[in-house]
Amino acid sequence: MATHIPKPPSLQVLTSPDWQDYELLDSGDGQKLERYGAYILLRPEPEAVWRRSLPEREWSKAHAVFKPAPEENGGHWQPLKKLPERWTMQYKQLRFYVQTTASRHLGVFPEQAAQWDWITQQIESSRRPLRVLNLFGYTGLASLAAAQAGAAVTHLDASRKVVQWANDNLTFSNLGDRGVRWIVDDALKFVQREARRNSTYDGIILDPPKFGRGPKGEVWEFYKLLPTLLDACRQILSQQSVFVALTAYAVKASPLTLYYALQEMLAGKTGTLTAGEIALTEKSAGRLLSTAIFARWTHVE
């Protein structure tokens, strides 16, 4: 008797072509040149193994350059021109604050706009009120997108500082009346408590880091704890669940890793499961700069 071998999934590449306030101007030689609103920034980018397309005079327009330190995620911003401590940006109807930080990030991952649009589509297509949980929610752009689409959102992050930043973004986007529930907690512990309370959600957004710590020093390690977290998340998915979105940065994994992890989590549920890479499109040469991997599932017809 022949063994049935399932067909491998087709992988996708997500891009975000609708930005006005952000551009990947150029990349190469291990760096990327980006415009965040009115300001141009230069950051390390290990994926950019090719040569730059723009001449040096364009790269010299940067307002600041990030200088990495030997330790992972450490370093400092070196100002080259006048740069405010904090400024504002907009994506469609979402408005938010950005600023330079010691971890080289600015409070927004522009490539994630593709996910914000997809989450909005899932919520609006369901045509009913949804409860959505955003784990590792950072400064809240996915939460804002879900709230704007009409969902009741629970936003969780281990950092009180970034949760306040997310709250500021909600107010700035004129969504303060949407009643987002803000949680500062360890993601796994919170989900396990929700399961014990029989609390369920119709959509779950996960953007776990490679390594992190909870507010009480809890250690998060991607490979060790992701299966446990996904199993816990399965227990809090409602019977009428609509979507799950999983993104991963800076891990030695492929989209297939996330695809099969979600496939196992969602065993028995009908719907569409996809996976692939998330990328930014260069303005200079049109190359796609891969920034993250993703897998997502939807029950929306």
Model confidence at 1, in pLDDT bands (50, 70, 90)? very low
- Tens of pLDDT, residue by residue over 249-282, are 988 889 999 999 999 999 999 999 999 999 999 9
Residue 2 has pLDDT above 80, yes or no: no
Q: What is the mean pLDDT of residues 153-168?
A: 97
pLDDT at 215: 83
Residue 210 reports pLDDT greater than 90: no
* DSSP state letters, 231-267: HHHHHTB-TT--EEEEEE-S-S--HHHHHHHHHHHTT
> What value does the mean pLDDT of the chain take?
94
Structural tokens at position 64: 């600041």
Tell me the per-residue pLDDT of 223-256, one tens digit each, with 9 for 90 and over: 899 999 999 999 999 999 999 999 999 888 899 9
Which burial class, exposed, middle or buried, applies to 211 when counting CB atoms under 10 A from its CB (0-12, 13-18, 19+)? middle
One-letter amino acid of 103? S
Name all domains of the chain by residue range, CATH numbers in brackets. 13-98 (2.60.40.1180), 110-298 (3.40.50.150)
List the single range of 110-119, 188-197, 211-220 with lowest mean pLDDT.
211-220
pLDDT at 73 exceeding the cut of 80: no
Does residue 237 contact residue 208 with C-beta atoms inside 8 Å?
A: no
Sign of the alpha-carbon torsion through 184, 167, 124, 245: negative
Q: Are residues 68 and 44 in contact, defined by beta-carbon separation less than 8 angstroms?
A: yes
* Proportion of the chain in helix, strand, coil states, percent, rounded to 5: 25, 35, 40
Confidence (pLDDT) at 72? 62
**What is the rounded CA–CA span in Å between residue 225 and residue 243?**
21
Query: Which residues does 7 contact at the CB level (< 8 Å), separation at least 6?
Result: none
